[in-house]
Every structure is written in structure tokens, then in C-alpha cells.
Amino acid sequence: MIVLPLAKRLITTAITGLAVTCLTLAACQPATAASPDHPDPATIARGQYLARLADCEACHTAPGGMPFAGGRPFEIPGMGTLYASNITPDPASGIGAWSDDEFVRAVRAGISPGWKHLYPAMPYQDYARMTPDEIRAIRAYLTTIKPVARKPPANAIRFPFSIRAIMIGWNLFNGPSSSYPDDPSHTPQWNRGRTLVEGPGHCAECHSPRNLTMGTSHSHAYAGAITAGWTAYNLSSDLKSGLGSWSDEALNAYLTTGHANGHGTAAGPMAEVISYSLRFMTQSDRAAMITYLRSLAPQPSAESQDHSAGPTQAALARGASLFAGACSGCHLTTGAGRQIDFATISGASTLKDPDGHNLIQVILEGSQLTTDQGQISMPRFGAGYSDGDLSDIAAYTLLTLGKTRPAFDTNAVSTIKNSK
Amino acid sequence: MLTVRVNNTDYQADVTPDTPLLWVLRDVLGLTGTKFGCGIAECGACTVHLDGKAVRACSLPVGLLNGRPVTTIEGIGNDPLAQAVQKAWMDIDVVQCGYCQPGQIMSAIALLRDNPHPTDTDIDAAMSGNICRCGTYLRIRQAIHNAAGLSA
Amino acid sequence: MNTPATPSRRHFLAGATGLIVAGLLPKRRAFSRPSEFYQGPLVENTDPAFTPNAYIRIAPSTIPGDSGITLILPNVEMGQGIYTGAVTLIAEELNVDPDQVALEAAPPDDAYVAADMGTQATGGSTSTIFEWTTLRQAGAAARLLLTQAAASRWNCPISDCTTRQGRVLHTPSGDSFAYAELATDAATLPVPKTIPLKPAKDWTLIGRSRHRVDSRAKVEGRPLFGIDIRVPDMKHATVAACPVMGGTPGDMDRDAALRTPGVHAVLTIKNAVCVVADHYWAAKKGLEALAITWNEGPNASIDTHRIYSELHAALAEPKPIIAKSKGDAAAAMTRAASRYEATYQQPLLAHAPMEPINCTIHIRPDSADVWVGTQVPMWARDSVADIADLPKDKVRLHCQYIGGGFGRRLEYEYVTQAAQFAKQVPYPLKIVWSREEDLTLDRFRPAYVDRLRAGLNTQGRIESMEFRVVGPAVVARWEPAGLSPNGFDEDLAAAISITPYTFPASRLDYVRREAPGVVTAWWRGVGGTRGLFVVESFIDELALRAGADPVAYRRELIRDQPRARTVLDLAAEKSGWTTPLPKGHGRGVAVQFLFGSYLGTIIEVDMTEPKEVRITRVTVAVDCGQPVNPDQIRAQIEGGMIFGLGTTLFNEITLSKGRVQENNFNLWRIMRMNEAPPIEIHIVQSTEEPGGIGETGTAAAAPALANAIAAASGHRLRTLPLLPALKGA
């Protein structure tokens, strides 16, 4: 969910970054040694809550691996593969040897011990909105996690991106400020909502388009963007493609469970955000988040580029047949959830996008959503189904269940695969 | 303890709410007629009725049942439509290994309840979510037509 | 719910009170034990009165409607209808109502070993061939003894007695005894050496379509399968073996697994872990919580590409095994007016039966019980005895109905694995594999590369044929004694040497290459499925090259094989072979002699949509010798054909970094109802010895379909599965 923008940012800022690095390095001083104390349960609980708001676990856990032990790969086209770090308290492989100050600096400034500059896959520029005290609470919580003595694989990053110090340059344009005062013209609830959305929630990282330096756009904030192949939808108040058409009730349900009747179910990266983060929010934080989101100025989404004649009748017929076989077990042939509401796809934003972006994505990658009732999964479809088969399924789904004319044909999946 | 209503009987099951109905039926209640095939709702071997509709028990957490009644292959014996379907299955010996057939039959009953005289296309749409590895599809389709005649 | 007292002589496995797990909430069961005779669920003998041979037990019964007759069925039922066939053969000679006999699965015992199988095994479409004489003789022997027992009671000559519907009748008086009433007397009589069998004209059962003996129990969802077994104090478990062959479990979070609600234990063996719980789901959650890191070992770099490369490279092997030779193929090849060659590639295949792998097992200090679906019960039992360090006779193996075999249960490594876990705990353990485990830890049909070369005369007719097969020798692992002294796996000669075709000269070379990173195994149709695809594709290529009609070209090659010609001609006629088709449509043909049966198959396809193939019609003519049950012959060909067509189009196991990638039905696509073509089957009346049928349709599918695609589109596809090649064509 945080992969593609990073790559683009790095590409544009590599040169400036290199220039600034040497100057900044000279001014750096090593941090003092660690001495973790024994935090009280209230602090730990607060830290767990904040860690969830910040969605730490999703990125710092490999698929099927131990929580927070890192190792999750992030493949960045043109740059290489980053592996999330181990943030368990193991002293050698994790962050057990870090001082609290070192931890705070890593999370808020993107600089880990030894003056190692983090790549902004770690959204420190957003986390800086959390106070040092809050970050220390997160640290306190992380000390209670089972230590895992296993180092993630080394990053496989190409030169010049392998020089971490180039991030210093990027930080000049897009990096964190030193403080984030409340806006007195708004209610405390709105201000809390802003903190959640802009800070630990780091929503803009996926939902805002990028500016020229590949930081998140402020002029088109939350207008939606494509990240790691998935469309993060428009969160602004736009009536057509934003949250303008959502009731508070629907938003509340979506943020709590990942599903809202008539709006479909979170999938892909958003399903992770619900699973590891949003579903743990308190009711008042959720209300604050909704209040803030409601206040976002309407931003039209980028219009679809209608680039193909769309599917043929034969392709749609094949799609219908394939859907009845491969998809009806969960979605019936009507798009209604067969056994659970989570599988009701009618009304989903995904079925209103003529490009079928997330629809094809979820067919190819599947999705996992954790709820209080357990794991809700969609399997990925691949081997055995040709690219054409999968494109036809998507076209049929969009037209028949989403009442949206597909702007793609039988070659859509091949095109997407080839572009990766 | 969760309460599940299966075949007109209330059962208490000491399971977590994320437990799929399938495993409550098979391993807790001993109703093994409902089969495990894939665990991802791709094969239909675990098809049961929830409020009379065909659902995949492997992908239905019991915590989401909310008191709605479940009927399994073991609980359909007195239903005339179900009897007609089972008779139609036996009349033309649909089964081979038979493992998927309780799920096929539960899907077929639900189809005929909604659509007493389905066409081939209707049958294919309703039944293609049920895999049969032995390849008994042609006989299943025929048996559904025959059952529609029997129960008419 | 009360149940009548259990009769002493039978133990209704599925319904017996003692086998139901205590602690159900409330204490109810799926089914009450039938108060009347109910055919289908397997019984186990406890008190035989009359056992004339290994296949029949007769004793008085108190169950209403029960004849007291139990037939012990030597081959396991996995869908192929062999129980119905076996009952038919015995009942025909015994003169009993086939619906009134109880069914018992043969326990592991030398008595049930067919000579050419080497062990007690169900596979290779051999069951009917083995049972045809054996079981009729068993029935006839029992009937003779029962008749003698009645005659001595009536003190009359045997010629005054007849048998009908499970009774011996005294013709002059009209008196009669039920067989069960004569059981004790008959048990004292010596078993005759030579037994006259009924002439075919007197048959009342053989050759007529009969309902399956297991239909009712299966449509009612009775507990029949291994996975349905429930025994007292049993715990549920699921396993994960290292997904890379040869690897071992590394780090794991046992505490997290044991904290999972319902989890009791985490067991480990060399290459796998097992989580024991109150039910499968808890075990599965526990397994996830373990978050195992595997030590992947030396196979972690294997991928499918490497397997194929090694097979293709071996085509150049200068010293192959010369497996079969007729005439001087090389000289004839040199003399030929022209030569033609083609190379074919076939993938690794999983079995994916609907019933995932499972085994229920209880190992005690002095004995053990195993409830399992297996095609090799003796090997499975012996393996448990070995692991548990028990004498073989202290291990009781209870064969269950199998929810699809296709060769998967000719392997018993899952029984060995279950025993290794079960011996670590005092209670019975029911191990069920997830579908993901079932597919990725399957033992696969090997990948093969075949190169065929023909020497042709000026009319394009065959003067010489050279076959080169490259791939594993499954038999070398499965039963090393089965490997020929020269290192050839005879199974690979199927459809090449065992063929209706007569070639003037031919040679079959074999280059053995075992696939790295996987275990290879038998698969439905065994050598016939792989061999027929290459031979029938190649013959088709030669026919088209000669400008000949593919049916006519084949007819010349089988001119001295009347049974093959009959099925080929019948299939051609019924399919309307000579009727022209619209553009974009095509018909493909295959003819075969496999498993003792002849098939002619015509498949018709519609390829008017680019890169798409729609199978519109399948026509099969079959001569499998004397039909035992024509409707079940049809059922096997229908099902085998759909099984083969789906596989031909969609299926290929691939490895990446040593791991199998296709792990559930979202990636291992199975043909579904809306893709299944209409199939018509024409059975040739025959009085020849019966052949096997369960694998014939599967073998026919690939070549007939590939030939149809070539006819419709001009594209000759020599690599399976067809879908990727087709879409790329």
C-alpha cells in the first residue's frame, strides 16, 4: 500500500538528496545508549492502541510469519526490494537495543540508530504528527511483544537508491515538520480527526495523488490515487466518486468491519488497514475521523481513459459461465453474498470503475480481511484460468453486477501483467 | 458457547465465533454428511441450507449465523422435494465416489425450491459452483430435470 | 434416541453406538442405526457361521429384511462402481438378491492379492478383470455347499434342489430353506475343487444395468468415508509438512499454537508438524499460530522449468534403454522415402480427489486400529506396524469408502505420517489435511517428454516408428520388483507397444530421468493416459501430412484388429464423422486398446471465437468385452472423459523455489457442469473376457481433443495443458 509512491519519489529526488547528504551528516551526533525502563500497563495499552492506529503490524509482519518480526517484501519497480524491519524486542535482530530516543527519532524523523536514513515506505513524515510521548508509548508496547531472533533478508536496492542518505534531500521537500498545532477554527473533534487521518492513519499516502516531487499532493488532497496497483478511492466529499454519497452510518460500518451495505467490502491494502488498524479504533476516534473526512473539500477523481472497445458479447458470455463456476460460491450469480454480507459486491466502488482496476486486482491477488467474526478471504485466481478468462470474468462482473460499461477487453489482464 | 439451530434442534457448541459452520457440523455435532472439500467456497461439497438457501458451510463463521436455521443432508428426509431429488439421483445412479453428492443435492433442492422447472441454463448457473471430480455432471443435470418432473 | 440391540455377528461401523463420540451437545446423531437392513455402510465380521471362501459369509440374522449374507469385496470402492460389480458377480452364481447382501471391505490379507499386482491393490483398471472368474467361482462354490446342506436335511438327491433369491428349494415338495438357515450345516462340508459356472444364457444379473449398491447411502449423506470416522476419545488434527521436499521444520511459536482455544498438542516428526485439537478448525488455527519457518534444504531452488529442461536434454541421450523392438526400425527408417518427427511435453499432475487426504489412527502399546481409505491396504497396515513396532496381526486396518482415488491412494505415505504422529499420543487421532496440503504435498503424475519419429513411404504410410520416452519410472519407487531387468517401467509401453496398430518395424527407447523436488506417482489412466496422447496425436499428424482422412488412415493401421475397427467405425458413424462442419469447427479422433478394452472416441469442437475452444460433443464406442453392468460402463466413460478433458485443458503443477504453486481449486481448475460437453456412449455387445473401464475415458480425452483443435484451427498443440498453448496460439 505504500510501495509505488516511494519508488517514484526516490527517482525524482535522488540527485538533490545526494547533494545535501554530506552537509547534514556532518551535523549529526550519535544517540545516547538504551536503557528501557518497565512501563506501566496503562502506557502499554495506550501504546498498543497507537500502534494499531499507525498500522505497524501490517507492514512489519511477513505473510505467515511472526507478528512484528518484519521480512515482508515490498517490491519497487526500478528500485528493488525492501524488506520490513524486525521491530520485536530482540536485541540483535529487532529493536531491543534501541533507546527510547532512538526509537522516537526513527519513527518521527526517519532516522534509525547509526544515522541510517529510513526509506519513506515507513511513513515517518506522517507519524511525526504523533507526540514523542505517544511514540514512547508505542515503544513500551513493542517491548511486550515476543522477541524474534531472526533478521529479515537484506534489502536488494539498486544504486543510487541504495544510498540511504539520499532521503535527506527528499525530506527537505516532503519530510516532517517539527510541530502540528491544532486549528482553533475547528472543533476539538475535527482536530482529533485530522490528527488520526494525517498522522498515525497516514491515509494520504495512498489516497492522495502525488505532487511534482512525489510527495502527497495538498492541492488535490484525498482525490484518490493508484498505489501498488490498487486504486485508493477518493476520500473527499465529492458526491460522484468521493465519500459525499456515503451516510455516516455506512462510513462507520465500513471503518469498523470493512463492509458497508451497498458499498461493498474493503479489499487488498484497505482490507489490511481495516484488519490491523481501523477496526480497533474507539467509537469516539472513529466519529472524529468521520468528521474530518467529511470536511475534506470535494475533489473530482481523475476520469477513466476509455481505451478499448470493451468486451464482446462472446467474452461476456464466457465471463458469465466462468463466474457461475469460480465466483458463485461466494457471490451467487447476482453479486449478493451467498453466505455472508462481506461477499456482497453489488454497489461497491470497485464495480463502478470502468477500468475495473481493483476488480482485476482482487481477482489476481485475492484479499484477506480480518473481522471480529474471523478471517474473510477471497482467493486469488491464476493458473488454470487464462488471462483472457480472468478479463472476461471482470468484464461480466462489471457490466452485469456493477451496471458499469467496462472500458477494457479480453486483453486487460495480460496488459496489467505485462506492465508489472 | 454459541447456539446453532440445525435440523430443527438447538445445539450448544463451545467454539470461537470465527469457526466455520462446517466444522461445528462435522466435528462438534457429528453431522458428517456435509463434506469438507476446499475450505474456500470453490467446490460446494459443504453446501447446506441457511434459511432455505444453499450456502457453503466452510465459509460461514458460526458467529454470523444470528439464530438463522441450518438444514443439512441429514435433516431433509421428510421434505417431499428433497425426497424427489434423492429418488431422482438413485433412479439414474448419479453417484460415483459420492463425496460431493450431499452438496450437489443440497444445491439442487435449493434450486428447485426457487425454480421448480429449471432449464439447462438455469441448472448450469445454479450448479456450476459444485465440483464433482468423478465428472457426474451430465447425470446431475438429468436428475434435476427428472426431480422437477417427479415433484410437479 | 434408542436403537435396537446390535446383532452379534455384525458390527455396523457407521452407526454402531460404541463408535459415536461422547459429548455431543445434545446427544443426537446424524442417523439412527437402521432398524431394518440397510445396504451401503460397510459391516465388519465378528462371528461367521459359514465362510466357504474369502468372499462370502453367511449367518442367521435378526435384522428384519437381512438375508444374513455378507459379501467381502476384494477391491476398494472409490467411485468406479466395483462394489456393485463384485456383488453382481457373486450374486449371479450364488443366486441371491444383490440388494439383500451386506457389504464388507476386504481387510488386508494375502487372500485378496491379485497375482499380477504384487500386493492387495485396487488400480490400473484391473478389478473387474481379476474378479470376473474369482468371484463367480466363489459364489458358485457357496451355492453348491448350501445346496448339499439342504439336500442332506431333506435327505434327497441334489438334483431335487434348486436355488433362487437366497433360498434352496426342494422342487418336489416346494419346501425351502433360507441360506442363513443352512449356514451352520454348510460350514461342515468340504469345499469342492472344481466348480461349474453358469452358462451365459442363464445369467440374470451379468450384462444388465443394475443400480449401484451404494447409491442410497451416498445420496443420504451417510458416514461412509474415512473422513467421516468418529471413534470414542478421538481428537482432531491437521498437519503441515515442509512444502519443499526434503526440508524440515525450523523455528515455530509453540506457545502461540497452544494458546489457541481448543488446541491440545503440537507434535513434530522429521519433516512435518501436527496440531491436535478439539476440532479441525482449532487445529488449523493452531497451525497458523505456529508460524513455522522451514529449513528448506537442497530442493529450494527447483522450478518446473528445470524439470522440463532436463527432460528435453535427455532426448539426446546416446544410450537409452531399448525397451521394445520389432524388426529393424533403424534400417527401415533409413530406407524410408521421408521421415517425420515431433516432440510432445506433458506436465506434472495432481490427483485432487474431492475427499482430502485423511487418516484416523489409534496406536496402543499392544495393538493399533487404522480407519482409512486406501488402494493398498496391506502396505498401509504394514507401514503402521513398522512405525508402531507392532506385529502386523496386531494392527487392524478398516478400509473405508474412498471419496475419489485416481491413484492418490495407491500411495500410503499419509498413513505412515499419521502413525508417526499417533504413536506420540495415547488417544485416537483423526488427521485431516487441508486442501492446500493435499495439493502441494501430493505425489504427482510425472512430467514427460516424448519424441516420435516415423519413416514413411511415398504415400505417407508408416514403414518404421521410433518412440523415445523420457521421464521417471514410477514403478521403481512404488514396487521396485516391478522394474524390468533392463531398467524399463513396463507401464510406459501402454499405448505404444500395447496398441491396436501394426507397424512394419518399431522401437521404443526409454531414458529414465527422475524429477527433482517431487515424488512421482500413478495417476488415472497410468501409462495409457500419457502414451495415448503422444501416439494418437502423432498418428493424426501423419494422417494430415499424408492428406488422408484421420479415421481412414487409422483404419488401415488396424486392419487385422476387428474389435478396434468396430469401435472406430461405430464412433465415426455415430458422430457423423463424414458430415461436413462449418468453418471453425472440427472433429478429432482417437482409437485405443488399453486395460483390455477398446475405445473409439470422436470429439467435436467449436473454435469460431479466437483462442477459445468449446467442446460441443463427445462420441465414444466401447468394446470392453462382456459387460457386467452397462450403465456403470457408461458412467465411468462419462466421468473419466470429463476428468480427462478438464485436466487436458487446465492442469499443470508448477514449482517455484521448490514449492508447488497450485494449492486449491482457485488455481487448480476443475471442469464444471457448464463446461461439460454432452457425451454419448455406444457399447458393443461382446462375449470376450471383460476389460477394465475406469481409466479408458480419461486416456481418450487429450488426444481426441488436441486432434479436434488441430482440425478446427490448424494449430497442432503438442504441449499439455492446452489452455496456455491455445491462448498463446
Please provide residue C714's backbone torsions phi and psi, each rounded to the nearest 5 degrees: 80, -5
Question: Are B105 and C219 in contact, with CB atoms under 8 Å apart?
Answer: yes
CATH architecture of A313-419: Orthogonal Bundle (1.10)
Name the residue among B38, B101, B123 with its Cβ closest to that of C219: B101
Whole-angstrom CA distances from A71 to A54, A57, A117, A198, C413 are 18, 12, 18, 26, 34
Q: Give yes or no for residue A19 having a pLDDT over 70.
A: no
Whole-angstrom CA distances from B136 to A234, B93, C221, C238 are 48, 10, 17, 30
**Touching A: C residues 595-614, CB under 8 Å:** 609, 611-612
Mean pLDDT of A370-387: 93
Q: How far apart are CA B6 and CA B4, in angstroms?
A: 6
Q: Give yes or no for residue C4 having a pLDDT over 60.
A: no
Running DSSP on this structure, what letter comes out for residue C349? Answer: B
Mean pLDDT of A38-46: 91
Does the ipTM surpass 0.95?
Answer: yes
Mean pLDDT of A394-410: 93
At residue C484, what is the residue type? Answer: S
Residue owning grid cell 514449492: C659
Name the residue among C291, C673, C727 with its Cβ closest to that of A66: C291
Global pTM exceeds 0.90:
yes
Q: Give yes or no for residue A191 having a pLDDT over 90.
A: yes
For the domain with range C304-348+444-727, which CATH number is right: 3.90.1150.10, 3.30.365.10, 1.10.40.30, 1.25.40.80?
3.30.365.10
Q: Give yes or no for residue C3 having a pLDDT over 60.
A: no
Between C30 and B151, name the one with better pLDDT.
Answer: B151
- Mark whether B70 and B85 lie in a shared domain: no
Q: How far apart are CA A189 and CA A182, in angstroms?
A: 11
Positions of E strands within C581-696? 585-594, 597-606, 614-623, 655-656, 659-660, 679-683
Q: Give yes or no for residue A18 having a pLDDT over 50.
A: no
Find the helix or strand (DSSP H, E) in which B90 lies. helix B80-91
List of residues 6+ apart from C23 with CB closer than 8 A = none
Cβ of residue B56 closer than 8 Å to a chain C Cβ: no
A206 is in an annotated binding site: yes
Domain boundary among B32, B50, B75: B75
The DSSP line for C543-564 is HHHTT--HHHHHHHHTTT-HHH
Q: How far apart are CA C471 and CA C516, in angstroms?
A: 11
Question: Can you tell me whether residue C500 is helix, strand or coil?
Answer: coil
Cβ of residue B61 closer than 8 Å to a chain C Cβ: no
Residues C402, B97: C-beta atoms closer than 8 Å: yes
Question: Are C48 and C371 in contact, with CB atoms under 8 Å apart?
Answer: no
Helix, strand and coil percent figures for chain A, each rounded to 5: 45, 10, 45
Q: Which of A246, A227, A221, A247 is nearest to A299 (CA)?
A: A221
Q: How high is the pLDDT of residue A398?
A: 96
Q: Which residues of B130-142 are buried (b: 16+ CB within 10 A; e: fewer)?
A: bbbbbbbbbbbbb
Q: Categorise residue A289: left if φ over 0, alpha if ψ from -120 to 50, beta otherwise.
A: alpha
Residue owning grid cell 472416441: C601
Q: How high is the pLDDT of residue A307?
A: 65
Q: How high is the pLDDT of residue A347?
A: 85
A372 contacts in B (CB within 8 Å)?
Answer: 17, 63
Q: Which of C502, C588, C585 is nearest to C541 (CA)?
A: C588
pLDDT digits (tens, 9 = 90+) for C239-279: 999 999 999 999 999 999 999 999 999 999 999 999 999 99
The number of C-alpha atoms within 13 Å of C66 and in the hemisphere containing its C-beta is: 25
Question: Are C101 and C46 in contact, with CB atoms under 8 Å apart?
Answer: no
List of residues 6+ apart from A99 with CB closer than 8 A = A31, A32, A33, A34, A35, A36
Q: How far apart are CA A392 and CA A398, in angstroms?
A: 10
Question: Are A296 and A222 in contact, with CB atoms under 8 Å apart?
Answer: yes
- Mark whether B52 and B108 lie in a shared domain: no
Question: Can you tell me whether residue C666 is helix, strand or coil?
Answer: coil
Question: Are C126 and C116 in contact, with CB atoms under 8 Å apart?
Answer: yes
pLDDT digits (tens, 9 = 90+) for C625-671: 999 999 999 999 999 999 999 999 999 999 999 999 999 999 999 99
Of all residues in chain B, the one with the smallest CA distance to A372 is B18
For the domain with range C9-219, which CATH number is right: 3.30.365.10, 3.10.620.30, 2.60.120.260, 3.50.50.60?
3.30.365.10
Q: Give yes or no for residue A411 having a pLDDT over 70.
A: yes
A22 is in an annotated binding site: no
CATH of the domain at B25: 3.10.20.30
Q: How far apart are CA A293 and CA A168, in angstroms?
A: 31
pLDDT digits (tens, 9 = 90+) for C534-554: 999 999 999 999 999 999 999
Residues A374, B18: C-beta atoms closer than 8 Å: yes
pLDDT digits (tens, 9 = 90+) for C352-365: 999 999 999 999 99
User: What is chain C's mean pLDDT, rounded?
Assistant: 93
List of residues 6+ apart from A14 with CB closer than 8 A = A160, A161, A166, A169
Q: How high is the pLDDT of residue A416?
A: 86
B142: domain range?
80-151
Residue from B134, B139, B150 whose CB has the most chain C CBs within 10 Å, to mutate:
B134
Establish whether domains A188-295 and A313-419 are of one fold. yes
A330 is in an annotated binding site: yes
Per the DSSP assignment, residues forming a β-bridge with C719 are: C345
Of the ranges A16-20, A149-153, A270-274, C178-182, which one carries the lowest mean pLDDT score?
A: A16-20
Domain boundary among B28, B51, B75: B75
Domain count, chain B: 2
Question: Are C645 and C701 in contact, with CB atoms under 8 Å apart?
Answer: yes
Let me know if C24 is exposed, middle or buried by CB neighbors in 10 A (0-12, 13-18, 19+): middle
List of residues 6+ apart from C277 with CB closer than 8 A = C235, C236, C237, C260, C262, C263, C264, C283, C286
C601-606, long-range: CB < 8 A, 24+ apart: C601/C571, C601/C641, C601/C700, C601/C701, C601/C704, C602/C571, C602/C572, C602/C574, C602/C575, C602/C577, C602/C704, C603/C677, C603/C701, C603/C704, C603/C705, C603/C707, C603/C708, C604/C575, C604/C708, C605/C705, C605/C708, C605/C709, C605/C712, C606/C712
Q: How high is the pLDDT of residue C34?
A: 59
* Helix B120-127, helix A313-326: angle, nearest 10: 50
Count helices and strands in chain C by DSSP H and E runs: 18, 29
CATH of the domain at B100: 1.10.150.120
Whole-angstrom CA distances from C152 to A251, A286, C68 are 89, 92, 21
Name the CA dihedral angle for C40, C46, C49, C52, rounded to a multiple of 10 degrees: 70
Residues A377, B55: C-beta atoms closer than 8 Å: no
> How many Å separate Cα C133 from the centre of its chain?
21
Residue from B133, B136, B150 whose CB has the most chain C CBs within 10 Å, to mutate:
B133
Q: Give yes or no for residue A17 having a pLDDT over 70.
A: no
Q: How high is the pLDDT of residue A306?
A: 63
Question: Are A74 and A3 in contact, with CB atoms under 8 Å apart?
Answer: yes
Q: How far apart are CA A90 and CA A236, in angstroms?
A: 42
pLDDT > 90 in chain B, percent: 96
A263 is in an annotated binding site: no
Of all residues in chain C, the one with the smallest CA distance to A378 is C666
Show the cell assigned to C631.
Answer: 450403465
Q: How high is the pLDDT of residue C727?
A: 76
Q: Give yes or no for residue C220 having a pLDDT over 90.
A: yes
At residue C253, what is the residue type? Answer: D
Q: How far apart are CA A345 and CA A76, in angstroms?
A: 30
Per the DSSP assignment, residues forming a β-bridge with C401 are: C225
Residue from C103, C211, C220, C259 whose CB has the most chain B CBs within 10 Å, to mutate:
C220
- Determine the length of chain C: 729
Each domain of chain C, given as residue ranges in start order, spans 9-219, 226-297+357-432, 304-348+444-727
Of the ranges A67-76, A327-336, C585-594, C691-700, which one carries the lowest mean pLDDT score?
A: A67-76
Q: Give yes or no for residue A145 having a pLDDT over 90.
A: yes
pLDDT digits (tens, 9 = 90+) for C406-446: 999 999 999 999 999 999 999 999 999 999 999 999 999 99
List of residues 6+ apart from C49 with CB closer than 8 A = C9, C57, C58, C59, C60, C180, C183, C184, C187
Q: Give yes or no for residue C27 having a pLDDT over 80.
A: no
A56 is in an annotated binding site: yes
Q: Which of B26, B7, A29 is nearest to B15 (CA)?
A: B26
> How many Å separate Cα C383 from the centre of its chain?
21
Mean pLDDT of A124-152: 94
Show the cell assigned to C376.
Answer: 493398498
Touching partners of C (3+ C-beta pairs < 8 Å): A, B
Q: Give yes or no for residue C32 having a pLDDT over 70.
A: no
A373 contacts in B (CB within 8 Å)?
Answer: 17-18, 61, 63-64
Q: How high is the pLDDT of residue C62?
A: 81
Name the CA dihedral angle for B127, B129, B134, B135, rounded to a multiple of 10 degrees: 50
**Per-residue confidence band for A16, with pLDDT thresholds at 50, 70 and 90:** very low
pLDDT digits (tens, 9 = 90+) for C453-489: 999 999 999 999 999 999 999 999 999 999 999 999 9
**Per-residue confidence band for B1, with pLDDT thresholds at 50, 70 and 90:** confident
**Per-residue confidence band for C119, with pLDDT thresholds at 50, 70 and 90:** confident
Q: Give yes or no for residue B149 having a pLDDT over 70.
A: yes
What top-level class would CATH report for the domain C226-297+357-432?
alpha beta
CATH topology of domain A188-295: Cytochrome Bc1 Complex; Chain D, domain 2 (1.10.760)
Residue from B93, B95, B106 whose CB has the most chain C CBs within 10 Å, to mutate:
B93
Q: How high is the pLDDT of residue C655?
A: 97
Question: Are C488 and C510 in contact, with CB atoms under 8 Å apart?
Answer: yes
**Per-residue confidence band for A77, with pLDDT thresholds at 50, 70 and 90:** confident
Question: Are C674 and B125 in contact, with CB atoms under 8 Å apart?
Answer: yes
Mean pLDDT of A193-222: 87
Of all residues in chain A, the one with the smallest CA distance to C611 is A388
User: What is chain A's mean pLDDT, rounded?
Assistant: 86
For the ranges A16-20, A231-235, C4-8, C15-19, the maximum mean pLDDT occurs at A231-235
Whole-angstrom CA distances from A109 to A51, A132, A179, B72, C425 are 17, 11, 12, 58, 54
Q: How far apart are CA C684 and CA C599, in angstroms?
A: 10
pLDDT > 90 in chain C, percent: 88
**Per-residue confidence band for A304, with pLDDT thresholds at 50, 70 and 90:** low
Establish whether domains C9-219 and C226-297+357-432 are of one fold. yes
Furthest CA-CA distance within chain B? 44
Each domain of chain A, given as residue ranges in start order, spans 5-174, 188-295, 313-419
Question: Can you tell me whether residue B72 is helix, strand or coil?
Answer: coil
- Mark whether B64 and B95 lie in a shared domain: no
Of all residues in chain B, the one with the smallest CA distance to A333 is B125
Mean pLDDT of C214-227: 97
How far is A333 from chain B, CA to nearest CA, in Å? 7
Between strands C235-241 and C429-432, the pairing is: parallel
Residues C654, A384: C-beta atoms closer than 8 Å: no
A325 contacts in C (CB within 8 Å)?
Answer: 672-675
Asked if residue C26 has a cis previous peptide bond (ω within 30° of 0), the answer is yes
Cβ of residue B120 closer than 8 Å to a chain C Cβ: no
**Per-residue confidence band for A213, with pLDDT thresholds at 50, 70 and 90:** low
Q: Give yes or no for residue A20 having a pLDDT over 50.
A: no
Q: How far apart are CA C582 and CA C605, in angstroms?
A: 11
Mean pLDDT of C156-175: 96
Q: How far apart are CA A354 and CA A306, in angstroms?
A: 8
Q: How high is the pLDDT of residue A34?
A: 38
Q: Give yes or no for residue A8 having a pLDDT over 80.
A: no
Report angle CA C367, C370, C371 to the nearest 5 degrees: 150
Q: How high is the pLDDT of residue C604?
A: 98
Q: How far apart are CA B94 and CA B85, in angstroms?
A: 11
How far is C261 from chain B, CA to nearest CA, in Å? 8
Size of interface A-C (CB pairs under 8 A): 58
